[in-house]
A and B are shown apart, each in its own frame.
Chain A
Amino acid sequence: KAGVTQTPRYLIKTRGQQVTLSCSPISGHRSVSWYQQTPGQGLQFLFEYFSETQRNKGNFPGRFSGRQFSNSRSEMNVSTLELGDSALYLCASSEGQGARSYGYTFGSGTRLTVV
């Protein structure tokens, strides 16, 4: 069974630009969650999608958005990039909603650097 696939692995963007990250969950998994990982803040929850609906959202500004498609693939978008958005963005999938599951399977992440 293929794991969670995140693309691209690395990305360098300029302040003010926007970026779209992609996540393909494990086949059969309907829940996709996104986390931002930074050395200072640790793992911060961004949002969770289940069956194409956003089920939960973290405390991030509206510049951070996401969506999920009918095949469970998910994208997250960050507009008007700031230097502080530099981070490892992790996608995780599970069969059911994350908080009621046996745990997530994580992708390897997308390392975003904003210059």
Chain B
Amino acid sequence: GEDVEQSLFLSVREGDSSVINCTYTDSSSTYLYWYKQEPGAGLQLLTYIFSNMDMKQDQRLTVLLNKKDKHLSLRIADTQTGDSAIYFCAVSASKIIFGSGTRLSIRP
């Protein structure tokens, strides 16, 4: 079936880059997304990438897609304390499937 996997935790130092990784199983996914969830809030769409793209950059965010390996990553440059949140990878299949989320914590 359709599955999206992410590691559960990531800790980085303030000012460093964060890289959150995701793998998925459905090769027919057309859109792939990254969402951010802060405590007590719903999910906020950060960015998306079409399956025919390899990379997308949006200010501090860079998304890389390796279709052959079914691997998606989100790089956050110059990570700040406000980036502390849970980050969800999601892919579109017959419906949108979410990973379990990666909790990003920032060390001073």
Contacts and interface: CB of A to CB of B under 8 A. Distances in A.
Contacts of B44: 106
Interface residues of A, number: 23
B92 A98 contact: yes
B88 interface: yes
Interface string A28-71: 00000101000000110100100000001010000000000000
Interface residues of B, number: 22
A100 interface: yes
B82 interface: no
A101 B31 contact: yes
B100 A42 contact: yes
A108 B30 CA distance: 26
Contacts of B88: 43
Contact of A104 (B41, B45, B100, B101): B45
B77 interface: no
A7 interface: no
A110 B47 CA distance: 25
B contacts with A: majority SS: strand
Contact of A99 (B35, B40, B95, B101): B95
A45 B41 contact: no
A106 B46 CA distance: 12
A109 B96 contact: no
Nearest to A40: B100
A21 interface: no
Interface of B: 30-31, 33, 35, 40-45, 48, 88, 92-101
18 contacts: A4-B42, A33-B95, A35-B98, A43-B101, A45-B96, A56-B95, A98-B95, A99-B31, A99-B92, A99-B95, A100-B92, A103-B33, A103-B35, A104-B43, A106-B35, A106-B45, A107-B42, A108-B40
Given A56-B94, A107-B42, 11 more contacts: A33-B95, A33-B96, A43-B98, A43-B101, A90-B42, A103-B31, A104-B43, A106-B35, A106-B42, A109-B41, A109-B42
Q: Which 4 A-B pairs have the closest CB atoms?
A: A106-B42, A99-B92, A43-B98, A42-B100
